[in-house]
Structure 1
Amino acid sequence: MKFFLDTANIDQIKEARDLGVLDGVTTNPSLMAKEGITGKDNIRKHYEEICKIVDGDVSAEVIATEYEEMVEEGEYLAEIADNIVVKIPMIKDGVKAIRHLSDNGIKINCTLVFSAGQAILCAKAGASYVSPFIGRIDDINWNGMQLIHDIAEIYAVQGFETEILAASIRSSLHIVESARNGADVVTCPLDAILGMLKHPLTDIGLEKFLADHKNAQK
C-alpha cells in the first residue's frame, strides 16, 4: 500500500520523504490556505516546489464546479509537472470532466466519494484514483472501512484498474484498517504515519537493551 501525505506543508513533506515511506502527496484549497498560499501564481509555484520534492503523484484540486471550467483548470494544473494528478469532485459535471481529461492522458483523482455507487462511476469514467472519505463517513455513524471493503470487492470482481485512495484518515488505526480492507493508497497527516512507530513494548525493549549494554561496559 502506498502512503501519500495529505498536506501542503513543505517541511512535513520533506520529513516524510526522509523517513523513506513517502509515495505521493494530496492537497486541496483548504490545505493551501492553511499554509498561507493564495493567488494563482503563488499556488502554482508551491505545486512546482512540492513536485520537485516528491517522486510520486501529487494531487492538485480544481476549484471549478462546471464541466468546461473544470476541464480548463484541469489542463492548466496538469501542465505544472509530469507527476500532477488532477482532483475532480464527484458531481455530474465532474464525471464528465474525468472522462474528457482521462481520455486526453491526464491522471485523475476523483474526490469527495462516499458510496460504492459513486466509486463505480469514478472507475467507469477513467479515474486513476477514487478517494472515499473514511473519517467523514465515520463522523455520521456510518462505517468507512466497510465502504473501502465494498469498493475493493467490486473493483476486483469487475476488473477496474482505478486505485482506492483512502482519504480523511484520522489515526494510525485508520491506516492499518484501510490496508486490511483493500485500499491501494492512504493519504493522511504526518502524525498518523508517525503514530505507527509507537508501541510501549518497543520502548520497554529498547530501554532494557540499552541498560544491558551499559551494564556490560562496566
Structure 2
Amino acid sequence: MTSKLDQLRKMTVVVADTGDIDAVRKLQPQDCTTNPSLVLKAIGLSAFESHVAKAVEAGRAAGDIGAVVTELTVAVGAELAGIVPGRVSTEVDARLSFDTEASKAKARDIIAAYEKRGIGRDRILIKLASTWEGIRAAEALQKEGIDCNLTLLFSMAQARACADAGAFLISPFVGRITDWYSKATGETYTSETDPGVQSVRRIYAHYKECGIETVVMGASFRNTGQIEALAGCDRLTISPQLLGELDADTGTLEQKLSPAAASCTAEPLAETEFRWELNEDAMATEKLAEGIRNFHADTLKLEKLIAEKLKSPEPAA
C-alpha cells in the first residue's frame, strides 16, 4: 500500500521543518527549512560537534559572536544541502525584522558563507519576517538573484505585499493561526473549518487566480489533518514527527488544492494600506510580533551558549 506521504509527494513538494540530519536522511524531503529554534536544537547533536568547535575557534579569532552564529547556522544548512536535492531556507536574525538595509546585508553575508562552502545561491532561500521592512529587503534581494522565503505570515495583507515584491516563496503559518483562534473562541475545529487551513486556501486561490508566481508553502502544522486539508498546495514544510505519521498511514489522500486559470489582476498594496490591514487583524499582529520575539529569544540562547564556549580555555596546540 502507498503511504499518504508518498501520495502527498505526487501533488506537493514536501519540505522538512527540521535541522535533524538523521530525520532528513530517513524521510528524504525535497527541501529543508531552518530557523533559530531548529539551529539551537541541531548544534546539540553529536553530528555537529566538529562544526561547533570550528565556528567557536573562528569566533575567538574574530571576537564576534554574531559571526559564530552565522557560521553555525550555515553549517547546519550546508549539511542539509548535502542531503536534499532542492533548497535550504536560512533565517536572517529576527532583530533585523524592522531594518531593511541591515536585513539585506545579513542576507548577503549568509549567501557568501554558503558560497565559501561551495554551495551556490540557487540552493538557498533567505528567510525574512513578513514585516513591511522584511518584504522590502526581499524585493531588493530578489533583484540581485537571491531568492527569499517570507516567513511568519498570517494574513492576506502580508501575502499580497510579498507577491508585489516578487518574493520567491511565502510560508503562511497554519498551526499558529489555529492556536490563536482556539484560545480566543474556545472552539475545536475540524480540518475543513480550521482557520489556519482556510487562510492558506484563500492565499493559494488568490495567487493562482491572479497568476502570481510566488510559491505558497504552508507551515507550522499541529496535526496531519491540517496537512491533508492542504494536499496539492505548492509546498508544505512538515516536522519529522508528522512526516513519520503520514509515512505510516496507508489511507487514501485526496487532493484538496489545484491551480486555477489566471482570471484577475491584483493592484499593488501601498505601505499605508498594508500597515492598516495588518493593524486591523489582531491575530496576525499578535502572532507576527510573538514569532519575532520567540526567534529572537532562541538567538539569544544560541549567543549565550557561544559566549560560554568562547570563555573556555583554548585547546592545547
**Is 1:194 paired with 2:227?**
no
2 CA distance for matches of 1:105 and 1:200?
Answer: 41
Native 8 Å contact 1:170 1:188 kept in 2: no
Counterpart of 1:2 in structure 2 is 13
Q: C-alpha offsets along residues 93-137 of structure 1, whole Å, 9 cap, x if unaligned?
A: 101101100011111100010011110111110111111100000
How much has 1:158 moved relative to structure 2? 1.2
1:69-84 alignment, distance < 5 Å: 69-79=102-112, 80=114, 81-82=119-120, 83-84=123-124
Shift of 1:197: 3.2
> Alpha-carbon deviation of 1:140?
1.2
Q: Secondary structure at the match of 1:112?
A: strand
Q: TM-score, normalised by structure 1?
A: 0.84
Q: Secondary structure at the match of 2:126?
A: strand
* CA RMSD, Structure 1 to Structure 2 (Å): 1.9
Q: How far apart are the structure 1 equivalents of 2:251 and 2:107? A: 48
- 2:32 touches 2:88 (CA, 8 Å); kept in 1? yes
In the TM superposition, what is the alpha-carbon distance from 1:55 to its structure 2 partner?
1.2
Q: Which has the higher contact order (CA 8 A, sep 6+)?
A: 2
Q: 1:175 to 1:53 in 2, by over 3 A?
A: same
The count of aligned residue pairs is 196
What amino acid does structure 2 have at the position aligned with 1:187? T
Higher percent of residues as strand: 1
The alignment status of 1:145 with 2:197, answered yes or no, reads yes
Give 1:200 shift: 8.6
Decide whether the 8 Å contact of 2:70 with 2:110 is kept in 1.
Answer: no
Q: Residue 139 of structure 2: which of 90, 94, 99 is its match?
A: 99
Which letter maps to 1:73? K
With the length of structure 2 as denominator, give the TM-score of the two structures.
0.59
Runs of at least 4 residues of structure 1 off by over 4 A? 199-202
Distance 2:33 2:206 in 1: 25
2:33: which partner in 1?
26
Residue 199 of structure 1 deviates from its aligned partner by: 4.5
The answer for the alignment partner of 1:112 in structure 2 is 152
Q: Tell me the distance in 1 between the aligned counterparts of 2:211 and 2:250.
A: 42
Alignment partner, residue 171 of structure 1: 223
Deviation at 1:165, TM superposition (A): 0.4
1:184-214 CA-to-partner distances (Å, cap 9, x unmatched) read: 1110111111212334989xxxxxxxxxxxx
Of 77, 94, 102 in structure 2, the residue corresponding to residue 47 of structure 1 is 77
Specify whether residues 199 and 86 from structure 1 end up closer, same or farther in structure 2 by C-alpha distance, changes over 3 A only: closer
Deviates more, 1:189-198 or 1:85-94: 189-198
Deviation at 1:12, TM superposition (A): 1.0
**Contact 1:122–1:130 (8 Å) recurs in 2:** yes
**Aligned equivalent of 1:56:** 86
**Is the Cα–Cα contact under 8 Å of residues 147 and 167 in structure 2 kept in the other structure?**
yes
What secondary structure is seen at the aligned counterpart in 2 of 1:140?
helix
- For the residue of structure 2 that corresponds to 1:60, the secondary structure is strand
Q: Identify if the C-alpha distance between structure 1 residues 119 and 43 changes in structure 2 by more than 3 Å, giving closer, same or farther.
A: same
Measure, in 2, the Cα distance between the counterparts of 1:201 and 1:6: 23
From 112, 128, 144, the counterpart of 2:168:
128
Gaps of at least 5 residues in structure 2 are 1-11, 45-67, 182-193, 253-317
